[in-house]
């Protein structure tokens, strides 16, 4: 499994350390809340809202340089729209990886 990184954020910031810090702070604040909401939607079998949230989380996956994980998220979102939870385990492993990484920053 690939590992999250700050390469994209650093490239986007182009040396602006304050900008990097702001993006990281946003990730630290939003990711845990979005994961809680995701878990709630999954528990309720609310496929539509889960798919919408996965769509939103795809952007954070991309920002953290997770190219293959982004593809899994796209497929999982499409599965949810078909009321299927195929790839749920894989997607949740991605979320755990992101959480662990963010917590270390």
Domain residues of the chain, as ranges? 7-104
- What is the band of 9 on the pLDDT scale with cuts at 50, 70, 90? very high
pLDDT digits (tens, 9 = 90+) for 27-67: 999 999 999 999 999 999 999 999 999 999 999 999 999 99
C-alpha–C-alpha distance, residues 98 and 72, integer Å: 14
Q: Determine what percent of the chain is predicted with pLDDT higher than 90.
A: 99
What is the reported pLDDT for 30?
Answer: 97
What is the reported pLDDT for 1?
Answer: 74
What is the reported pLDDT for 23?
Answer: 96
Average pLDDT over residues 61-83: 98
C-alpha–C-alpha distance, residues 46 and 88, integer Å: 13
pTM of the predicted model as reported, rounded to 2 decimal places? 0.95
Those residues whose C-beta lies under 8 Å from the C-beta of residue 79, and which sit 6 or more positions away, are: 85, 86, 87
């Amino acid at each position: 499994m690939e590992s999250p990184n700050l390469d994209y954020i650093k490239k986007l910031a182009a040396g602006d350390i304050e900008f990097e810090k702001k993006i990281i702070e946003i990730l630290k604040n939003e990711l845990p809340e979005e994961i809680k909401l995701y878990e709630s939607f999954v528990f309720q079998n609310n496929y539509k809202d889960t798919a919408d949230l996965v769509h939103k989380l795809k952007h954070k996956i991309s920002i953290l340089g997770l190219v293959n994980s982004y593809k899994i998220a796209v497929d999982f979102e499409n599965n949810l729209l078909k009321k299927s939870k195929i790839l749920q385990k894989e997607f949740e492993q991605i979320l755990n990886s992101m959480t662990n990484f963010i917590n270390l920053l």
